Amino acid sequence: MKKYNVIVIFDKDMKKTLMCKRTKEPYMNMYNLVGGKIEKEKDGLNEAYRELVEETNINKADVLLKHFMNIEYVSFNKLLEVYYGILNKNVELIEEVNKLEWVSINDNFFDMNKYAGEGNIGHIIEEIKIDLNNDN
């Protein structure tokens, strides 16, 4: 099974979430979550931190990631591990390939003309909001 991760990062004030603008297909020029492939036999959480540092310069000292959910695509033999975290301070972002942008957490993440993933980003972020509200 092919494994991937996506990482939802919120700013320290919980007003914005970090998105990258895709530079290639699928979903070219659309917003997407940070993430990538999980190397075989590697720990998912460590791979999420590795991707996060590579793509954004955000590291373990900046954010505590929580493994929140898995989405399995049975017909594609693909597993998506979803992580999220809230920054504990302001950070200087460094872009690897895709342009990084902070987007209001009140945006319509279900807008499939703006966001990649056929509504998955909206679903993921709404479920995380529920989880965060349950923690309070």
pLDDT tens-digit readout, 76-123:
999 999 999 999 999 999 998 899 999 999 999 999 999 999 999 999
Q: Which residues constitute the domain of residue 74? A: 2-135
- The number of folded domains in the chain is 1
Please report, for residues 3, 70, 123, the alpha-carbon distance to residue 74 in angstroms, rounded to integers and kept in the order given: 12, 12, 19
- Report which of 66, 37, 67, 70 is spatially closest to residue 54, judged by C-alpha positions: 37
CATH number of the domain where residue 69 is located: 3.90.79.10
pLDDT in tens, 13-67: 999 999 999 999 999 999 999 999 998 878 999 999 999 999 999 999 999 999 9
